[in-house]
Structure 1
Amino acid sequence: MRDVVRMRGDHAIAIILVLGLHSFARSALNIEEAGIKIVYPPGHRTQTIKWALADFGIEKYGGQLLGNVFYPTEDTSFYSANVKPPKCVPTDAQYGCTLFSKCTGFSLPRNDGNQIIMLLDRGPARTEDPCYFVKKVYYAQQAGADAVLVVNDVAGADLSTAIAPDEEVFAKMAEDITISAGLISKEDGDIIKDMLKSGNAVTLLLNWTSALPQKAKVSWELWSNSNDECGTLCDEQLAFVRDMKATAKKLQDSGLATFSPHYILFACPAQYLDTPECQSQCIMKGAFCAQDPDGSVAEGYAGLDVLKINMMQLCFFQVANTSGQPDLWWDYVDMFGRNCTMKDKQYTEECARRVFVSVGGPALSMNTGLTLWEQCIPNVTALAQNTTARVPLLEQEQALQRGSDSMNPVSIMPTVRINGVQYRGKHDAASVTRAICAAFPTGSEPALCNDRAVSDNECLVDAIGYRRCRVRTSRAVNSCNNTFSGSGYKCVCGKGYKRGTDDLSGGETCDDENECINHSYIPRPGGPTEKPACSCSRCACINTEGGFNCTGPLPNKCTA
């Protein structure tokens, strides 16, 4: 079994059917890519590498990561004669299938606060105890890596998006991953390996600054499901709604972003229309379906129950949006998730109506909110076997789910789509907010994008901005200002320093000003800062960090 491209639960089949596909093809799961630049060895700086972002972990949307590549291979040709390679059992170390703490001879070469990008191989192919992508990344994070690149194992193969399997153990791993990860081609991986084998240190710049299209007004969507019986996945989804609603409201109120919720649909194949599975999950003879929440047709809630609640929530948004209060949807879904659970047998239309009243639904649209809401909700029972009726609400959802030339199709649940492109990574409020911020033109991001929870603070002591602005060595003459996009910081360079550009990352630096070359800095006779030690004809200037010293008169030791 391969280590990449696992759809979450039965949603794999569901979405492929609604998109009209017949296999796990590339088009079934849109691949989101970012750029990688080889910055060292310098002879490869013109070469760029594409990588497919994983759908877990934290991708640094709008930012960059400069790091040294570490490949924990057991191949002795990558090491000098006196270095023993690491050894993992039962799978070779370069696959990352074993906790590195249990491997012999393994150590992560970290110094001077540099970032480590671990390079791992895809595979090995096996049916028992498959080495999934998420396991590789989790073990690399445990070892101290800051990012992971997995090298594809087939030359010429398309890149694919890594998704955690829906088994609880892997879902938990995915939840705990806080580093970035992605897949690169075998050809690009071989280039990196050849450089390492030649004894070169390899430094890469991972770049997320162009991963999303930028617009002055950002539109974003959440594709989800009202089901609360899917374990960690459902828990994360409900937590996201709770944690994101304050930020979503700020973005909406600012007028800089618009949000719309949507709900995943699938279609039942014609040959299964008369089965209990389709009849309990679908309306319109299999045209519109929702997944059974517990996987059992005979027990618990059915897919039709989920479809009905999904449509009630979608209709609430439409009524609230028409009334100019779209952000009430967050309150409605949050309260429903807390009070109307399947576990407590409260996942019902009656509970949904109580929540509607609690969040002020009846007062919407000049006190016609309840009527408009009820008129919007399709009659699931009446539509079960109907093949001629039109259901515009569901038809529109299905069309939006399929996507268009300017909008990626939605193929997994949950999905966030920003300016028509799918977000990849962990579905937590801070990470999604970061991606939304990256979708604004550089410099026009809302103020909340600089919040600590959203933007990495590159100006903390010993962070990259702090070091490159030389805050410590300048004795606080220089300062570092944290920003959201690009390198993540701006330098303010004081007297004795000048602003420069780092050769590797392109980020700003404060470079020492050589006052001894720029003579305008040196006090001269008659000047406002005349110093006797600098003013005489036999005085010399000695450049220092952030300043200079003058020698005073030097003795004439010339004998000729």
Structure 2
Amino acid sequence: MAAILGLLPLVLVLVVMADSVSGRFVVEKNSLTVTSPSSMKGTYDSAIANFGIPQYGGSLAGAVVYPKKDNANGCEEFSSGTFKAKPGSIPNFLLLDRGDCVFAKKVWNAQKAGASAVLVADNTDEPLITMDLPHEDGDASNYIENITIPSALIDKKFGEQLKKSANNGEMLIVNLDWREAVPHPDDRVEYELWTNSNDECGLKCDMLMEFIKDFKGVAQILERGSYSQFTPHYITWYCPQAFILSKQCKSQCINHGRYCAPDPEQDFSKGYDGKDVVTENLRQLCVFRVANESKKPWVWWDYVTDFHIRCPMKEKKYNKECADSVIKSLGLDGLKIEKCMGDPSTDAENPLLTEEQHAQIGKGSRGDVTILPTLVVNNRQYRGKLEKSAILKAICSGFEESTEPALCLSSDIESNECLDNNGGCWQDKHFNASACKDTFRGRICECPLVDGVKFKGDGYTYCEASGPGRCRINNGGCWNESQNGHTFSACQESGDVKCKCPPGFKGDGIKKCEDIDECKEKICQCPECSCKNTWGSYECTCSGDLLYIRDHDTCISKTSGASKTTWAAVWVILIGISMAAMGAYIVYKYRLRSYMDAEVRAIMSQYMPLDSQSEVPNHGQETHS
């Protein structure tokens, strides 16, 4: 893990807002369990180092070895391979004393000697602290990026117990466990990276930018698939009121001393100033905000990597013009970004940078952000090397079991325990079903879903199909048999009884169902009937020219008198209907003729009054007097 990116003059202080909770540095811990000797069995706390590669989401067992007193602190190099475990034996954890040299050097010497992990015993009675990198590079710059083994600090009392046990020749077996180092409540991981746009701070800046370039593809896959929610952050400082007009504050701060960054070269007389870094940090924040508003937050990774390549400080291209060209090439809205940034020269607060200052203060289980870079996963600060596979492990450990994306199950970051004896879980090779499910933290035994059918059981010794569709899977474990084109099954998909012989059979429904001879039970009762047993059923037939009616268990004649009577009745009904129709037609014609005669007579009476009618008065002409 990189240390502070450059140092500010003493006039610059970390912002602590009056209405914020008191800040603090949180020591991230993992558990250390002693399994041998029995006198020390138990679980103890250990503090994760700020370098190397902790096994987030996993655990590591080893035998504790305490070196000879002449190099008990590990500050001198050990002979090559001194602590390398023999093939087939448990790995060696080297126990070292604190003091006399930096933590990273102890771990580096142990790694070169073949140790798989390092425990550093504190020499002071105090709460656990985080083993950090030295602030200055010095010799550490030659090895810190190559440390790949995990290490942890243990308290003085526990360390003395381990040393005593080791000196007595007892076998010391411990297990370092990082599975709960990162919370994993659900199927999405929230993580944030506290970074900086400065690329002229030496090894630490190089490590940061190398990580961003390497991790970009992974981050974008996680973000595009909605597996994660990423947020970039930038540390800013403020200049005390008494020094706002000083040369240092004017060159390192924007917005009248409110937001400051260290001078990139630590020289105020040349190169870029701290205010240039703050301005670019603000631009990168706004790039993320504008990209996020357009539902493409992953574009931030493209901008930062492109800016680093195209606009480096050493080529004097670290400026607005170069940044604008990158923004344009990515299709971002430059006007929105400018509006988001505001005016860095104004004597007023910038809402976005003020939010960043508040976010630096630790809340809940997360401590203050005081070093760069810092990665926070599910509100827990990551400890260890800033390296692609190490960070991916930490992020993957933040998913709830069995919800992690395929990216977390790739062979380069975890082993598939289901490949070895099916992980000790239940399996049925007949229909290729297994209860072993690979997760980032290791396998779990969980009854599977096969062809839409859910299996239930303990996952270790048994699983059985349950609910709708269960009879499609190996017939639900029940009896079934086919004969002469007919298939019968004892599988029941509903109810408490899962296997029950179908009608016409008897048995346990699981191993066998036997045909019932219904004829022996005299199921055909009628006098004229004869019974014939069939597989799963029966047949009743009638003698002579008779037809068997199964629902009534009776025989009737196929050509009975009743049939003739029926046809006679049908003919009578048809003849009756025909006669009724003819009568109705005659009545209709008579009434129609009468009606027409009456109408004709009424019309003719208007023009030629009949003898039987009086003269019809003319109403068309009236005289008025």
In the superposition, the TM-score normalised over structure 2's length comes to: 0.65
Residue pair 2:2, 2:204 contacting (<8 A) in 1 also: no
- The residue type equivalent to 2:324 in the other structure is R
Cα distance change on mapping 1:313 and 1:298 into 2, 3 Å: same
Task: Give the equivalent residue in structure 2 for 1:100.
Answer: 78
Task: Give the equivalent residue in structure 1 for 2:60.
Answer: 65
Task: Give the equivalent residue in structure 2 for 1:438.
Answer: 397
Query: SS state of the match for residue 205, structure 1?
Result: strand
> Highest Rg: 1 or 2?
2
Give the Cα separation in 2 of the matches to 1:57 and 1:15: 31
Offset from partner CA, 1:476-529 (integer Å, 9 cap, x none): xxx99894544x45799xxxxx979xxxxxxxxxxxxxxxxxxxxxxxxxxxxx
Query: SS state of the match for residue 316, structure 1?
Result: helix
Query: SS state of the match for residue 148, structure 1?
Result: strand
Which runs of 5 or more structure 1 residues have no equivalent in the other structure? 75-91, 125-130, 362-368, 470-478, 493-497, 501-560
Residue pair 1:164, 1:171 contacting (<8 A) in 2 also: no
Residue pair 2:12, 2:240 contacting (<8 A) in 1 also: no
Per the TM alignment, residue 437 of structure 1 is displaced from its structure 2 partner at its CA by 0.7
Per the TM alignment, residue 283 of structure 1 is displaced from its structure 2 partner at its CA by 2.5
Per the TM alignment, residue 434 of structure 1 is displaced from its structure 2 partner at its CA by 0.7
Residue pair 1:61, 1:211 contacting (<8 A) in 2 also: yes
Per the TM alignment, residue 201 of structure 1 is displaced from its structure 2 partner at its CA by 1.0
Give the Cα separation in 1 of the matches to 2:36 and 2:267: 55
- The residue type equivalent to 1:254 in the other structure is G
Task: Give the equivalent residue in structure 1 for 2:126.
Answer: 156
Q: Percent sequence identity over matched residues?
A: 37
Q: 1:377 aligns with which of 334, 341, 355?
A: 341
- The residue type equivalent to 1:288 in the other structure is Y
Per the TM alignment, residue 453 of structure 1 is displaced from its structure 2 partner at its CA by 3.0
Query: SS state of the match for residue 171, structure 1?
Result: helix
Which runs of 5 or more structure 2 residues have no equivalent in the other structure? 425-433, 447-458, 462-625
Cα distance change on mapping 1:467 and 1:12 into 2, 3 Å: farther
Offset from partner CA, 1:9-39 (integer Å, 9 cap, x none): 4279799622479xxxx96532111111001
Task: Give the equivalent residue in structure 2 for 1:238.
Answer: 209
Give the Cα separation in 2 of the matches to 1:273 and 1:418: 36
Residue pair 2:130, 2:153 contacting (<8 A) in 1 also: yes
Cα distance change on mapping 1:333 and 1:274 into 2, 3 Å: same
Cα distance change on mapping 1:15 and 1:282 into 2, 3 Å: closer
Query: SS state of the match for residue 27, structure 2?
Result: coil
Structure 1 residue 121 and structure 2 residue 97: aligned? yes
Give the Cα separation in 2 of the matches to 1:171 and 1:20: 35
Offset from partner CA, 1:320-346 (integer Å, 9 cap, x none): 000001001111111001010001000
Which moved further from structure 2: 219-228 or 282-291? 282-291
Give the Cα separation in 2 of the matches to 1:232 and 1:289: 22
Structure 1 residue 223 and structure 2 residue 194: aligned? yes
Cα distance change on mapping 1:8 and 1:456 into 2, 3 Å: farther
Per the TM alignment, residue 229 of structure 1 is displaced from its structure 2 partner at its CA by 0.5
Offset from partner CA, 1:21-79 (integer Å, 9 cap, x none): 9xxxx96532111111001113332x2111111111111000000011011132xxxxx
Structure 1 residue 40 and structure 2 residue 18: aligned? no
Cα distance change on mapping 1:459 and 1:119 into 2, 3 Å: farther
- The residue type equivalent to 1:333 in the other structure is V
Cα distance change on mapping 1:5 and 1:337 into 2, 3 Å: closer
Give the Cα separation in 2 of the matches to 1:297 and 1:448: 46
Offset from partner CA, 1:273-328 (integer Å, 9 cap, x none): 34322221113443211111111111110000001111111101100000001001
Structure 1 residue 17 and structure 2 residue 8: aligned? no
- The residue type equivalent to 2:279 in the other structure is K
Give the Cα separation in 1 of the matches to 2:297 and 2:219: 10
Residue pair 2:24, 2:367 contacting (<8 A) in 1 also: no
Per the TM alignment, residue 138 of structure 1 is displaced from its structure 2 partner at its CA by 0.8
Per the TM alignment, residue 455 of structure 1 is displaced from its structure 2 partner at its CA by 2.3
Query: SS state of the match for residue 321, structure 1?
Result: helix
- The residue type equivalent to 2:408 in the other structure is C
Per the TM alignment, residue 433 of structure 1 is displaced from its structure 2 partner at its CA by 1.0
Per the TM alignment, residue 452 of structure 1 is displaced from its structure 2 partner at its CA by 2.7
Residue pair 1:14, 1:267 contacting (<8 A) in 2 also: no
Offset from partner CA, 1:324-377 (integer Å, 9 cap, x none): 01001111111001010001000011000000011111xxxxxxx222111011
Which moved further from structure 2: 152-161 or 11-20? 11-20
Give the Cα separation in 1 of the matches to 2:169 and 2:191: 46
Cα distance change on mapping 1:40 and 1:406 into 2, 3 Å: closer
In the superposition, the TM-score normalised over structure 1's length comes to: 0.72
Cα distance change on mapping 1:176 and 1:480 into 2, 3 Å: farther
Q: 1:334 aligns with which of 305, 310, 325?
A: 305
Task: Give the equivalent residue in structure 2 for 1:423.
Answer: 382
Give the Cα separation in 1 of the matches to 2:181 and 2:79: 34
Give the Cα separation in 1 of the matches to 2:437 and 2:316: 49
Task: Give the equivalent residue in structure 1 for 2:174.
Answer: 204
- The residue type equivalent to 1:136 in the other structure is K
- The residue type equivalent to 2:49 in the other structure is A
Residue pair 1:209, 1:485 contacting (<8 A) in 2 also: no
Give the Cα separation in 2 of the matches to 1:54 and 1:11: 25
Tell me which of the two structures has the higher relative contact order, counting C-alpha pairs closer than 8 angstroms and 6 or more residues apart: 1
Per the TM alignment, residue 256 of structure 1 is displaced from its structure 2 partner at its CA by 2.1
Q: 1:189 aligns with which of 151, 156, 159?
A: 159
Residue pair 2:191, 2:377 contacting (<8 A) in 1 also: yes
Cα distance change on mapping 1:167 and 1:20 into 2, 3 Å: farther
